[in-house]
Every structure is written in C-alpha cells, then in structure tokens.
Structure 1
Amino acid sequence: MRFFKSFKYAFRGIVYCINNERNMRIHTVAALYVFVFSLFFKMSRTSYAAVFLAVAMVMAAELFNTVAEELCDMTAASFHPVVRIVKDMAAGAVLVCAVFAAAVGICVFWQPAAFLKILQFFAAKPLMLLLLAVSVAVSIVFIISGPIGIRDHIRRNREE
C-alpha cells in the first residue's frame, strides 16, 4: 500500500508544479506538441528514446527548480544573496536542460521532407488547421492562466 501512496504523492507534486509554475506549463504544452507532430517524422526507437529523455530531463529540472524556489521562499523571510544565487542556479539548470533538449530536437527532427508533409497535411485538411489553431489558443490560455486560474474564472462566471 505504501508503494502506491508514493505514486499518489509524486503525481500530487507534479500537479502542484503544473498548477503553480508557468514554465512547467510551457514545457508540458511543448512536449505535447512534440509528441503529436513526431508522428509526421521518420523516427527510430532510439530517436524516440532521445526525445523522451530530453523531455523528462527538462521537466525534472523544472520540478527541482520549483523545489529550490519553494524551500528558499520558506526559509528566507526577506532578500538574501545566497537565496538569489540558489534560485539562479536552479533556473540555470533548467536552461541548460532546455537548450540541450532543443539540440536533441534539432538533431532528431531536422527532416525537411517531414516539414513539407506537415504543410501538405494542413493544406489538404483546413479543418485540421482550424483544430490546430484552436489547440494553440487553448494552450496559450492554459500557459498564462493555468488550470487553477481557468477553474476560478469558470466558477466566477457561473456565480454571476
């Protein structure tokens, strides 16, 4: 039973990070689009493994960055130079992971024929282009407001 509770706590931590950290929402949305559009590319298992590892690395770094920020905020009542350094280093770790994930993306997804295939797909199916536009709009709202902000906005509108 303890084993399953540990998964519950882990998921609760991930959800907390998504709810409270805009950058984690950006990473989540980016990962979703990467995996959806990966269907247009010729990719080996190794390529998929590299993409999965890159995405996991960035998200794990963002989780650790959030841990560092929360602990720093909890322990320091006011500005402290060491807290700033810790927060900057944690953010730097995320940046390093994100840059290398982008490099993995360039290595794996640099397939001009696949980009042409994507353009042809959307040109032949305007409804899918509309669906993509709607999903981008929803993603932007999700990134800016977060699930909690969206939920609160919906609740306020129902009460009016």
Structure 2
Amino acid sequence: MAKSRIRKFRESFLYAGRGLRLCITGERNFRVHMTAAFYVTAAAVMGHVTSTEAAVLCLCFGLTMGAELMNTAVERLCDKTARGYDRMVRDAKDIAAAAVFVCAAACVAVGVCIFLMHGVLAAALRFLAARLWLAMVFLVTVPAAVWFVFFFGRKQ
C-alpha cells in the first residue's frame, strides 16, 4: 500500500512535468513569461535586491506562469468541447486570457516599484558597466531568447 502511494505521488510530479513541457513547447506566451523571468532575475541579482524583493519577484513569476498554464488548460478544453463558434467558449477563453493579463500587469507594477523606485535597475546597470564582458555575454543571449520565444517547439 505504501509503495502504491509513493508511486502515485511520483507520478503526479511526472504528469505536472509533462504539462509544463507541453506549455513550454506549445505556448509562445508562456515562453515570453519564462524569458522575462530569466532577464528580471539576472537584473535582480546584478542589482542586489533584498530577500523580500526577491521573494515578491518569485511570487510574481509563479502567479503569472500559473495563470498562463490555467489559461492554456481552459483554451485546450474549450477547443476540444466546442463545435463551431460558441459565444460562451469565446467568453471563457477571453476571461482566462484576462486573468493572465491582470497578473502580468501586477508584475509590471511590482517591477516598477522594485527596479525603478528602489534603484535596482540603476545598480544593475552600474554592475554591468563595471564588467563590460558580462554586458556582452548578456547581449549575446538576446538572439537565443528571441529564438526560444518565437521558434522553440515549432514543428518543421
């Protein structure tokens, strides 16, 4: 009995990982959120955010990506069940998309508070200016990020 519970517990992680992989490979907007989280995290580290600011940023990332995952689930379920155009399906999909938008807008507000009002962005830019080699490495990642957002997971 204990082995069965452990196996089911382990399987729940495998299923969640599969869902995450499906969203990463199939949803451009999710990749946008992941890429933004990467660059914001890098800037936060370079700008020496406090542990509280880091925790708030992590919550923002989690809420936005979680909302995007739920939006994707709603869209796929609606697409599967709808037969032709359905106003209620359209409304459900629009509301789910609005949830992602609200989370992303809140993240932008948090980012403004942390990066602009607390001077984290200025500190990160000073950090990069003192290490031009790192600034160049950072710039080199931009084409990879663009490829990841727009082309990763596309079927040939």
- The TM-score, its normalising length taken from structure 1, stands at 0.85
Structure 2 gap segments, 5+ residues each: 1-6
Change (3 A) 1:94 1:114: closer
Pick one of 57, 64, 70 that aligns with 2:70: 64
AA matched with 1:136: V
AA matched with 2:105: V
**Structure 1 counterpart SS, 2:39:** helix
Deviations 1:119-152 (A, max 9, x none): 3333343322221111111001100012x23xx6
AA matched with 2:149: I
1:133 corresponds to 2:139: yes
Trace 1:58-97 onto structure 2 (pairs within 5 A): 58-97=64-103
CA distance in 2, matches of 1:36, 1:42: 10
**Structure 2 counterpart SS, 1:110:** helix
Change (3 A) 1:141 1:28: same
**Cα deviation, residue 109, structure 1:** 2.0
| Residue identity (%) | 37
Alpha-carbon contact 2:47-2:122 (below 8 Å) kept: no
Pick one of 48, 56, 61 that aligns with 1:55: 61
Cα RMSD after superposing both structures: 1.8
Change (3 A) 1:106 1:81: same
1:99 corresponds to 2:105: yes
Point out the more displaced range, 28-37 or 59-68: 28-37
2:16 alignment counterpart: 10
Alpha-carbon contact 1:25-1:142 (below 8 Å) kept: yes
Alpha-carbon contact 1:41-1:111 (below 8 Å) kept: no
1:34 alignment counterpart: 40
Structure 1 gap segments, 5+ residues each: 154-160
